[in-house]
């Protein structure tokens, strides 16, 4: 017989602790949990007493997890998510798919003409109406971290050279080029060295390693890069489909000497994490829709 060291109240207190840690403090967790700060504090204190360690520092200096708290958060989050999978997986045995499906999507994937994500979600709704998709737009590093922490079931993002940490289902192809504003390039003397809008990205680092560009201001996402490029004082690396959309209004143009970077956009999963029936169904729908689209274009 399996004996658990935690009872139902302990599990509830663990959930409260995880919410506090993810929110970054007791005050922020009040709004998430709809509980008073005193109740939240009591739950966290009970977890600490149960484990015999201090999990977080709280006071005038702010909220901070202790090293023990970091370990407890990681293990408790994994355990609680595993518990949440029990009912949906039992339902699946009886042919009923239910529960949440967490999807992380790279920004502006929807603007690509070959993206079939809306059709896949619609097909999922018809095939498994009790599955609830939860979608969050993230950057490339954020998607990787979310996969490692099991906060998303599937990530939709590009696959780059040397990127072999996860499992990949290719969906469609995306290309990137360097863009500048037409009015600046055509109306003023050329700069000897153009500042390249920076963001942590393998292609950006590759361009900077060559000649002709210096590191410019840092931008947090494609919208910010496009904004700086449209100002006329910078160049930036953008997906071609996105630049074409923005370029209709701001007259962006690919640089003549720009390299072209091409990679597949994939449905990415963690091979070390047990898959769920609902995730497998959604992957099969993505595969079917994008294969059908590619075959149509080839014909």
pLDDT tens across 1-26, in order? Answer: 344 466 667 778 888 888 888 888 88
Model pLDDT for residues 125-172, shown as the tens digit of each residue: 999 998 999 999 998 888 998 898 888 999 999 998 888 999 999 999
In the CATH hierarchy, which top-level class contains the domain 8-84? mainly alpha
Mean of per-residue pLDDT scores for the chain: 84
Q: How confident is the model at residue 296 (pLDDT cuts 50, 70, 90)?
A: very low
- What fold characterizes domain 97-299? D-Maltodextrin-Binding Protein; domain 2 (3.40.190)
225 is written with which tokens?
Answer: 């890069």
User: What's the CA gap between 9 and 12, in Å, rounded?
Assistant: 5
Q: How confident is the model at residue 174 (pLDDT cuts 50, 70, 90)?
A: very high
Higher pLDDT, 42 or 8: 42
Q: How confident is the model at residue 295 (pLDDT cuts 50, 70, 90)?
A: low
Termini Cα distance of the chain: 60
User: What's the CA gap between 102 and 133, in Å, rounded?
Assistant: 6
User: What's the CA gap between 122 and 150, in Å, rounded?
Assistant: 24
Q: How confident is the model at residue 75 (pLDDT cuts 50, 70, 90)?
A: confident
83 is written with which tokens?
Answer: 């518990």
Do the beta carbons of residue 265 and residue 242 sit within 8 Å? no
Q: Is 75 left (phi over 0), alpha (psi -120 to 50) or beta?
A: alpha
Q: Domain boundaries in the chain?
A: 8-84, 97-299
List helix spans (H) across 128-253.
Answer: 140-148, 182-187, 202-209, 222-230, 240-250
User: Helices 277-298 & 86-93, crossing angle to 10 degrees?
Assistant: 70
- If you search the block for the tokens 């169904």, which residue do you land on? 281
217 is written with which tokens?
Answer: 């201001």
Three-class DSSP category at 268: strand
Half-sphere exposure of 243 (CA within 13 A, CB side): 24
User: What's the CA gap between 67 and 104, in Å, rounded?
Assistant: 28
Q: How confident is the model at residue 190 (pLDDT cuts 50, 70, 90)?
A: low
With 80 as the cut, is the pLDDT of residue 121 above it?
A: yes
With 70 as the cut, is the pLDDT of residue 191 above it?
A: no
With 90 as the cut, is the pLDDT of residue 288 above it?
A: yes
- If you search the block for the tokens 């504003």, which residue do you land on? 181
With 60 as the cut, is the pLDDT of residue 298 above it?
A: no
177 is written with which tokens?
Answer: 């080029």
Q: How confident is the model at residue 61 (pLDDT cuts 50, 70, 90)?
A: confident
CB atoms inside a 10 Å sphere around CB 69: 23
Q: In the chain, pLDDT over 90 holds for what percent of residues?
A: 40
User: What's the CA gap between 260 and 175, in Å, rounded?
Assistant: 7
Model pLDDT for residues 79-97, shown as the tens digit of each residue: 777 666 666 666 656 566 7
User: What's the CA gap between 175 and 161, in Å, rounded?
Assistant: 14
Q: What is the 3-state secondary structure (H, E, C) of 91-140?
A: HHHCCCCEEEEEEEEECCCCCCCCCCHHHHHHHHHHHCCEEEEEEEEECH
Q: In the chain, pLDDT over 70 holds for what percent of residues?
A: 86
Q: How confident is the model at residue 183 (pLDDT cuts 50, 70, 90)?
A: low
Predicted confidence at residue 118, as pLDDT, reads: 96
Q: How confident is the model at residue 297 (pLDDT cuts 50, 70, 90)?
A: very low
Model pLDDT for residues 227-265, shown as the tens digit of each residue: 999 998 999 999 999 999 888 888 899 988 899 999 999
What's the DSSP call for residue 53? Answer: S
């Amino acid at each position: 017989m399996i004996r658990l060291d935690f009872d139902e109240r302990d599990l509830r207190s663990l959930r409260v602790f995880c919410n506090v840690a993810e929110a970054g403090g007791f005050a922020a967790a009040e709004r998430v949990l709809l509980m008073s700060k005193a109740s939240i504090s009591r739950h966290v204190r009970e977890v600490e007493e149960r484990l015999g360690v201090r999990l977080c520092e709280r006071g005038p200096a702010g909220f901070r997890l202790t090293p023990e708290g970091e370990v407890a958060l990681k293990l408790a989050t994994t355990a609680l998510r595993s518990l949440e999978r029990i009912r949906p997986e039992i339902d699946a045995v009886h042919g009923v798919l239910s529960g949440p499906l967490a999807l992380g999507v790279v920004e502006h994937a929807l603007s690509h003409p070959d993206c079939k994500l809306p059709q896949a979600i619609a097909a999922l709704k018809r095939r498994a109406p009790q599955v609830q998709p939860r979608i969050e737009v993230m950057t490339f590093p954020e998607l990787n971290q979310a996969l490692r922490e099991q906060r998303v079931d599937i990530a939709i993002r590009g696959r780059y050279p040397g990127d072999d940490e996860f499992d990949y289902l290719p969906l469609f192809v995306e290309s990137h080029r360097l863009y500048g504003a037409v009015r600046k390039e055509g109306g003023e003397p050329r700069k000897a060295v153009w500042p390249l809008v920076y963001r942590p990205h393998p292609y950006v680092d590759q361009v900077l390693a060559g000649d002709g560009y210096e590191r410019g201001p840092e931008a947090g996402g494609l919208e910010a890069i496009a904004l700086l490029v449209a100002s006329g004082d910078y160049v930036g690396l953008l997906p071609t489909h996105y630049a074409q959309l923005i370029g209709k209004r701001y007259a962006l143009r690919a640089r003549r000497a720009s390299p072209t970077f091409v990679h597949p956009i994939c449905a990415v999963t963690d091979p070390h994490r047990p898959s769920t029936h609902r995730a497998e169904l959604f992957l099969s729908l993505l595969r079917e829709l994008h294969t059908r689209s590619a075959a149509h274009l080839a014909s």
